[in-house]
Structure 1
Amino acid sequence: MKIRPVILCGGAGTRLWPNSKNHQAKQFIDFGNWTLLGKTLERVKASIFDSPIISTNSKYLKQVKFHLRKAKISKYKIVLEPAKRNTAPAILSTALIKDIPMEQPLMFFSADHLIEKTNVFNKAIDKNKANLTDQNIFIFGIKPSSPSSEYGYFITKKIKDNINKVTRFIEKPKEAKAKQVIKQKGYWNSGMFFLRKDSIINNFKKHQPTIYRNCIKAVKKAKYKSNTYYLNKASFIKATAKSFDYAILERTKHINGIKLDIPWSDLGSWKEILKMYDKNKNKYFKKKNVYYRPWGRYTNLFEGKEFLIKELYVKPKGILSLQKHHHRAEHWLVTKGKPRITLNKDSFIKKPNEHIFIPLEAIHRIQNPGKKPVKIIEAQVGSILKETDIVRFQDIYGRVN
């Protein structure tokens, strides 16, 4: 039996656009002729997988169908949630649809993860298929590349047949605690799940009977049209809104970890997005987008919807003007050198791989006091992303407005 991939595609993208009424859902953002959902759909075309199921809501139906057409996937099912109820009801109601046999292995992907070395990832999934039972759940850990406070972690111990049993979860620790967790061989919890349909049913019956009862009704009373299940709203809204981690993983003892050492990110912050652009900047570089300034130069790498990615090169002793913006906030990731940053009344030195957020209307400046160049990848986020949106207060090159 092939593995049935289920793509959870309900995220709203509020973390990236906290001040915008029109936040773009992360899985649909065009990062340069590709989207995270598009990459996920390409990934599930591997030979180990059966046709995909997408769990989403009516607001995203058009975009999901557009991406399916673009990926040339004609065989699929869509399960539409009539209300937001977090991942537990989404996972259960998708597993309950009648086309899925009881012992079907189900692989739950997030629509907004960037995964490289997919052949290593798929081998790990396929290898563990035989270890699935009607009770257990496999989750995927990523070997941390840094002590990040943006992800949860888990710790495992090896049991029979090279299976790693999860012994402890650590929720998004502070950086100092994250360093300790990594020393204990903790892995990032990627939020992907691998289990059989009967395991989902048994775990929900035991640990979340209310969610189980209402999701059963929502699926039984669902309308089906054009490959799409429209879950029954009256029943679905009675299902408690809970994450799968909180509803099931924190309550069951049958969790195993699949540990992977592959490049992975959920691009959940501008820092992670900037790292991605820095890593791939050669793909985005165009000579005509390089602009020279007295302090050095900047390169426009990619302009998306309400965001612009740049690389700044500040020569030794170069100083940008003290300035602010009315229409955009900025995120900076230092990639080279040690710039001195002014942010309102504060002044501080930043090192490579450190992130700085410049809020709307904040007065700021970059200086390079050193003998080596400074490089910064910048995301401008807002409604106007032109050089005209600069109000200068001081400038050593005589450019004050």
Structure 2
Amino acid sequence: MKIRPVILCGGAGTRLWPNSKNHQAKQFIDFGNWTLLDKTLERTKASIYDVPIISTNKKYLKQVKQHLKKNKIKKYKIVLEPAKRNTAPAILSTALIKDIPHDQPLMFFTADHLIEKMSVFNKAINKNKSNLTDQNIFIFGIKPTSPSSEYGYFVTKKIKGNINKVTKFIEKPKEAKAKQVIKQKGYWNSGMFFLRKDSIINNFKKHQPIIYKNCVNSVKKAKLKDNTYYLNKVSFIKATAKSFDYAILEKTKQINAVKLDIPWSDLGSWKEILKMYEKNKNKYIKKKNVFFRPWGRYTNLFEGKNFLIKELFVKPKGILSLQKHHHRAEHWLVTQGNPKIKLNKESFVKKPNDHIFIPLEAIHRIQNPGQKPVKIFEAQVGSILKETDIVRFEDLYGRVK
């Protein structure tokens, strides 16, 4: 029996646009003729997978269908949530549809992850297919590249059959704690799950009977039209809004881990997005988008909807004007050198891999006091992303009006 991929595609993307009413869901953001949902759908085309099921909500139905068409996926099912109830009801309701046999292995992907080396990933999944039972759950750990406080972690121990059993979860620890967890061979919790349909049912019956009862009713009364299940709203909204982690993973004892050492990110912050653009910058560079200034130069790499990605090159002893912006905030990722940053009344020196957030209307400046160039990747986020949105207060090069 092939593995059935289920794509969870209901996230709103508010983390990237905290002050915006027009925030874009992360899985649909165009990063340069590709989206994270494109990448996820591409994953499901591997030979080990059956046709995909997409769990989303009504407001995203049109965008999901556009992505399926763009990726030439003709066979699929969509399960539509009539209200936001977090991942536990979404996962259970999708598993309950009649298209899925009782002992079907299900691979739950989130629609907003960037995963490389998919052959390694798929090999690990296929290898563990025979280890699935009607009770256990496999989760996916990624070997940390740094002690990040943006991700949750877990720790494992080896048990019979060379299986890694999860012994402890650590939720988004501070950096110092994250370092300790990594020393204990902790892995990032990627938020992907691999389990059988009967395991989902048994775990919800045992640990979340109210969610189980209401999701069963919601699926029983669902309407099927054009490959899309419209879940019953009256029943679905009675299901408690809980994450799958909180509802099931924290309560069940039979959690195993697939540990992977592959490039992975959920692109959940502008820092991660900037790292992605830095890694792939050669795909985005065009000579006509390089602009020279007295302090060095900048290159516009990609302009998306309400965001612009640039690379700044500040020559030794170069200093930008003291400035602010009315219509945009900025995220900076230092990739080379040690810039001196002024932000309102504070001044500080940063090092490579440091992230700096410049809020709307904040007065700021970049200075390179060193002998080597400084490079900074910048994400401008806002309604106006033009050079006209610069108010200068001081400038070495006579540009203050």
Question: Taking structure 1 as the reference length, what is the TM-score of the superposition?
Answer: 1.00
The answer to whether 1:367 aligns with 2:367 is: yes
The answer to whether 1:159 aligns with 2:166 is: no
The answer to whether 1:293 aligns with 2:308 is: no
- Whole-Å Cα distance in 2 between the matches of residues 180 and 257 of structure 1? 20
Equivalent residue, structure 1, for 2:147 = 147
Paired residue type of 2:101: P
Identity %: 88
Equivalent residue, structure 2, for 1:308 = 308
Matches within 5 A, 1:20-169: 20-169=20-169
- Whole-Å Cα distance in 2 between the matches of residues 398 and 175 of structure 1? 43
- Whole-Å Cα distance in 2 between the matches of residues 79 and 15 of structure 1? 25
Tell me the CA shift for residue 232 of structure 1. Answer: 0.2
- Whole-Å Cα distance in 2 between the matches of residues 113 and 319 of structure 1? 37
Paired residue type of 2:253: K
- Whole-Å Cα distance in 1 between the matches of residues 176 and 394 of structure 2? 38
The answer to whether 1:234 aligns with 2:244 is: no
Equivalent residue, structure 1, for 2:384 = 384
Give the secondary-structure state (helix, strand or coil) at the position aligned to 2:49. Answer: coil
Tell me the CA shift for residue 161 of structure 1. Answer: 1.2
Tell me the CA shift for residue 210 of structure 1. Answer: 0.1
Paired residue type of 1:389: D
Gaps of 5+ in 2: none
> What root-mean-square deviation, in Å, do the aligned CA atoms of Structure 1 and Structure 2 show?
0.3
**Cα deviation code 1:56-103 (max 9, x no counterpart):** 011000000000001100000000000000000000000000010000
- Whole-Å Cα distance in 2 between the matches of residues 243 and 289 of structure 1? 44
Paired residue type of 1:196: R
Give the secondary-structure state (helix, strand or coil) at the position aligned to 1:168. Answer: strand
The answer to whether 1:396 aligns with 2:388 is: no
Equivalent residue, structure 1, for 2:244 = 244
Equivalent residue, structure 2, for 1:281 = 281
- Whole-Å Cα distance in 2 between the matches of residues 80 and 368 of structure 1? 52
Tell me the CA shift for residue 361 of structure 1. Answer: 0.1
- Whole-Å Cα distance in 1 between the matches of residues 95 and 321 of structure 2? 57
Equivalent residue, structure 2, for 1:14 = 14
Paired residue type of 1:374: V
Give the secondary-structure state (helix, strand or coil) at the position aligned to 2:376. Answer: strand
- Whole-Å Cα distance in 1 between the matches of residues 58 and 187 of structure 2? 35
Equivalent residue, structure 2, for 1:351 = 351
Tell me the CA shift for residue 162 of structure 1. Answer: 1.2
**Cα deviation code 1:87-126 (max 9, x no counterpart):** 0000000000001000000000000000000000000000
- Whole-Å Cα distance in 1 between the matches of residues 10 and 119 of structure 2? 26
Tell me the CA shift for residue 172 of structure 1. Answer: 0.1
Give the secondary-structure state (helix, strand or coil) at the position aligned to 2:297. Answer: strand
Give the secondary-structure state (helix, strand or coil) at the position aligned to 1:366. Answer: strand
**Cα deviation code 1:129-170 (max 9, x no counterpart):** 000000000000000010000000000000111100000000
Equivalent residue, structure 2, for 1:183 = 183
- Whole-Å Cα distance in 1 between the matches of residues 58 and 86 of structure 2? 15
Tell me the CA shift for residue 317 of structure 1. Answer: 0.2
- Whole-Å Cα distance in 2 between the matches of residues 283 and 159 of structure 1? 45
Tell me the CA shift for residue 44 of structure 1. Answer: 0.5
Paired residue type of 1:321: S
Spell out structure 1 runs of 4+ moving beyond 2 A: none
The answer to whether 1:323 aligns with 2:317 is: no
Gaps of 5+ in 1: none
Give the secondary-structure state (helix, strand or coil) at the position aligned to 2:386. Answer: coil
Tell me the CA shift for residue 227 of structure 1. Answer: 0.1
Paired residue type of 1:191: G
